[in-house]
């Protein structure tokens, strides 16, 4: 089901207001936050990007993947391995290579995974992700000496004279990439290509009959999605200073899935909202409820399913639409 409504031409400028407002808030918010709050916002933006990337393959193309961590991890591990083995800290080398490796991994895995469909697609993507997990777990080259994972990663060197990144400026780096990715994905899902993906999700055989190469559409969606997950993985490694095999693990694959479903699949802002709810509820419930935070988070998933089945984003949008509609009626 298509959620967003086509707006009349004059409403288009008005429609951009919430986006511009959100961008402004994101741009100035570090001035009002402690270092801790800043870190939390950085984390939120990275996972929002991760969830948005997952949304392309699942929300739009309708492919339920349980191995999205593979691309997140591939990006992150590339950065970490470059630092560990070649002492490369330059952002302009590490980051593009990380995204490239993630994209290449997705290109390879996509060929294997798209041989299957439905629930088998889920199982295959899961298997491929787990392969990388056990590879990084077992092979010494993927680990710092004497431990599981790679440590000693620092904030990247941007090679701008007289400027070193601190956590605040790193927040803006993340925000920059989040913004660029958001705009690119915005263009993507509203292009004829994005429409075709939705068509494939809704009725693949019909799209095939109309003459679309559905395999190629799904494959490119898978690869594009992997590339953006790679960006998130690269940024997360810089943020976290540490990578471990768990970056490839099933838990990491669940995160964007749960965030996207909770926020609203197949909508652009839904996964962002879902990531926000997830990250902030996880954080604050672990402060206020201590060891009971998983109960809060799990309970939230269950409540979302009961009360806002299409996702919190869609639910709020409906509420808003109903409220504004009522308002108009009262005026007239």
Partner 1 sequence: MDWFVINLLNGVSYGMILFLIASGMSIVLGAMGTMNLAHGAIYMVGAYVGWTVAVKWGATFGVGLLAGGLSAGLVGLAIERGLLRRLYKQPNEQVLLTFGFVYILTNLCLWIWSGWPRMPFTAEFLKGSFEILGRAYPKARVAVILIGLILGVGLWWLQDRTRMGAIVRAGMDDKETTMGLGINLERAFAVIFFIASFIAGVAGVIGAQLLGVRTSLGLEVLLLALIVIIVGGVGSIQGALLGGILIGVIDSFGRAVFPQLAMFTMYFTMLVVLIVRPAGLLGRKV
Q: Which residues bind partner 1 (CB under 8 A)?
A: 58, 64, 112, 115-120, 122-124, 126-128, 130-131, 133-135, 137-138, 250-251, 254, 257-258, 261-262, 265, 291-292, 294-295, 297-302, 304-306, 309
| Shortest reach from residue 63's CB to partner 1, in Å | 11
Cβ-count burial 231-260 (b if 16+ within 10 Å, e if not): bbbbbbbbbeebbbbbbbbeebbebbbbbb
Q: Which helix (H) or strand (E) holds 283?
A: helix 270-288
92 versus 120: smaller Cβ distance to partner 1: 120
Distances from the Cα of 301 to the Cα of 169, 271, 282, angstroms: 34, 14, 12
59 versus 194: smaller Cβ distance to partner 1: 59
80 versus 262: smaller Cβ distance to partner 1: 262
| Shortest reach from residue 264's CB to partner 1, in Å | 10
132 versus 153: smaller Cβ distance to partner 1: 132
Contact 68, 253 (CB under 8 A): yes
DSSP 7-27: PPTTHHHHHHHHHHHHHHHHH
| Shortest reach from residue 1's CB to partner 1, in Å | 12
* CA pair distance 257, 32, nearest whole angstrom: 31
| Shortest reach from residue 46's CB to partner 1, in Å | 21
Positive or negative, the Cα torsion across 29, 285, 273, 198?
Answer: positive
| Shortest reach from residue 208's CB to partner 1, in Å | 17
58 versus 178: smaller Cβ distance to partner 1: 58
Phi-psi region of 159 (alpha: psi -120 to 50; beta: other; left: phi over 0): left
| Shortest reach from residue 9's CB to partner 1, in Å | 34
116 versus 323: smaller Cβ distance to partner 1: 116
């Amino acid at each position: 089901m298509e959620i967003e409504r086509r707006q009349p031409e004059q409403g288009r400028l008005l429609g951009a207001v919430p986006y511009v407002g959100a961008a402004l808030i994101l741009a100035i918010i570090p001035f009002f936050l402690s270092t801790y709050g800043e870190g939390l916002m950085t984390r939120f933006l990275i996972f929002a990007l991760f969830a948005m990337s997952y949304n392309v393959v699942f929300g739009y193309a309708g492919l339920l993947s349980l191995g999205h961590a593979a691309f997140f991890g591939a990006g992150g591990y590339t950065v970490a391995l470059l630092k560990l083995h070649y002492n490369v800290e330059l952002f302009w080398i590490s980051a593009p290579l990380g995204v490239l490796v993630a994209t290449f991994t997705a290109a390879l895995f996509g060929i294997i995974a798209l041989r299957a469909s439905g629930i088998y697609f889920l199982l295959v993507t899961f298997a491929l992700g787990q392969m990388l997990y056990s590879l990084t777990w077992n092979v010494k080259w993927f680990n710092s000496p004497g431990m599981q994972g790679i440590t000693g990663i620092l904030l990247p060197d941007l090679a701008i004279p007289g400027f070193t990144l601190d956590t605040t400026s790193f927040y803006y780096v993340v925000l920059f990439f989040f913004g660029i990715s958001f705009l690119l994905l915005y263009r993507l899902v509203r292009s004829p290509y994005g429409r075709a993906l939705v068509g494939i999700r809704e009725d693949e055989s019909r799209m095939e009959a109309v003459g679309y190469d559905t395999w190629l559409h799904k494959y490119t969606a898978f690869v594009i999605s992997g590339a953006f997950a790679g960006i998130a993985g690269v940024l997360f490694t810089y943020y976290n200073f540490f990578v471990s095999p768990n970056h490839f693990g099933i838990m990491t694959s669940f995160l964007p899935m749960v965030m996207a479903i909770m926020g609203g699949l197949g909508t652009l802002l839904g996964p962002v909202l879902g990531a926000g709810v997830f990250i902030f509820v996880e954080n604050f419930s672990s402060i206020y409820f201590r060891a009971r935070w998983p109960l809060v988070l799990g309970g939230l998933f269950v409540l979302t399913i009961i009360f806002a089945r299409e996702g919190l984003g869609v639910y709020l949008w409906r509420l808003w639409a109903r409220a504004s509609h009522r308002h108009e009626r009262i005026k007239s």
